[in-house]
């Protein structure tokens, strides 16, 4: 008898077929998140859950008493209640690796977009403000040969460093929980304390997961350490930044600009003060949003789920549950 699963978000047809081959499937099939009460009802008799967000916690486990495997279609898994999962022996997986290069591409896009004021000057042209003889009003800032500081040199951080070093001849600094000798040798990356990195970098890229230690890692004190000419890029988690402090730093010129793919609350409201600033590029959390990467993530999430339900060790069990 096939295990029963609930899938809380649309997946490609090939992934649906793979899941149906191995499981009895209940697909939510809608882009909007499944309402909490609906989630509790439709997981009452499932052994597996494929999701991409929403709290996976003791309340859910109290309703889904047969649940054995939760597979998240994401790299981050801060929505997992890890102690509750460990206590009940529930396997939790995620989808690392497959999105590294796509996210690194987006970081470079934000660096270039903020430095050369791409969005701001696109608007300048569309609004008919471009005049013959415009000169310094159009100036941006160089990325090549500048210094980038990467906070969190994991797989994505290394992919960013590789692009920065070999594509733009940048000086690469990094801060990490532990030194990365291989990255230092291969990428020419130089380790710095967090304060040193903030003070020395022209571009500060935040790439840490959301943990109790990294929540609001970048606040008023850290922003004050940055150069007034520095540009801040965040493609990690919005909660890793004190958003009010960032807004103040951008408004007062304490830092030059910011490129943001993530926010404290998502979706961010259209009237949010950050979105009124010309020196901010704001994106709708699209770090992994390419067709190929999203397909690969969905298939990996499905394979993780099926492996766990078939009694095999899934390839991507989250570290804390291994």
- Predicted TM-score (pTM) of the model is 0.93
Residues 6+ apart with CB under 8 A from 79: 53, 54, 55, 56, 72
The catalytically annotated residue of 14, 21, 186, 266 is: 266
Which of the 8 DSSP states describes residue 138? G
Work out the percent of the chain whose per-residue pLDDT is above 90.
Answer: 98
Per the annotation, the verdict on 266 as an active-site residue is: yes
The catalytically annotated residue of 22, 163, 175, 237 is: 237
Supply the CATH classification number for the domain 99-282. 3.40.50.720
pLDDT of residue 29: 87
Average pLDDT over residues 74-97: 96
Same fold, 4-96+291-321 and 99-282: yes
Domain ranges of the chain: 4-96+291-321, 99-282
250 confidence band (pLDDT: 50, 70, 90): very high
Is CATH 3.40.50.720 the classification given to domain 4-96+291-321?
yes
Per the annotation, the verdict on 175 as an active-site residue is: no
Closest CA to 94 of 78, 79, 77, 81: 77
CB 308, CB 322: distance < 8 Å? no
The catalytically annotated residue of 4, 155, 272, 285 is: 285
pLDDT in tens, 144-170: 999 999 999 999 999 999 999 999 999
Per the annotation, the verdict on 68 as an active-site residue is: no
């Amino acid at each position: 008898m096939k295990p029963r699963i609930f899938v809380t978000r649309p997946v490609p047809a090939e992934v649906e077929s793979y899941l149906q081959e191995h499981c009895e499937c209940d697909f939510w099939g809608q882009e909007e998140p499944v309402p909490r009460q609906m989630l509790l009802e439709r997981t009452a008799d499932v052994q597996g859950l494929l999701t991409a967000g929403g709290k996976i916690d003791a309340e859910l486990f109290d309703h889904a008493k047969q649940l054995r495997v939760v597979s998240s279609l994401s790299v981050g898994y801060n929505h997992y209640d890890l102690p509750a999962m460990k206590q009940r022996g529930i396997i939790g997986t995620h989808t690392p690796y497959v999105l590294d290069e796509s996210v690194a591409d987006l970081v470079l896009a934000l660096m270039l977009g903020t430095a050369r004021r791409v969005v701001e000057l696109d608007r300048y042209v569309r609004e008919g403000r471009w005049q013959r003889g415009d000169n310094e009003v159009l100036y941006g800032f160089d990325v090549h040969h500048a210094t980038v500081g990467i906070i969190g040199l994991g797989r994505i951080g290394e992919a960013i460093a590789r692009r920065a070093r070999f594509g733009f001849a940048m000086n690469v600094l990094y801060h990490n929980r532990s030194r990365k000798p291989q990255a230092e040798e291969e990428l020419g990356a130089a380790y710095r304390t967090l304060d040193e990195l903030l003070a020395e970098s022209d571009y500060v890229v935040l790439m840490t997961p959301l943990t109790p230690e990294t929540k609001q890692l970048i606040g008023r004190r850290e922003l004050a350490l940055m150069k007034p000419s520095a540009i801040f890029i965040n493609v990690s988690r919005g909660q890793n930044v004190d958003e009010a402090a960032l807004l103040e730093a951008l408004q007062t010129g304490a830092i030059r600009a910011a490129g943001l793919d993530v926010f404290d609350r998502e979706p961010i409201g259209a009237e949010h003060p950050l979105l009124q600033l010309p020196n901010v590029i704001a994106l709708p959390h699209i770090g992994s949003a390419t067709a190929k990467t999203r397909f690969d993530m969905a298939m990996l999430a499905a394979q993780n789920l099926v492996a766990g339900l078939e009694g095999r060790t899934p390839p991507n069990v989250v570290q804390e549950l291994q």
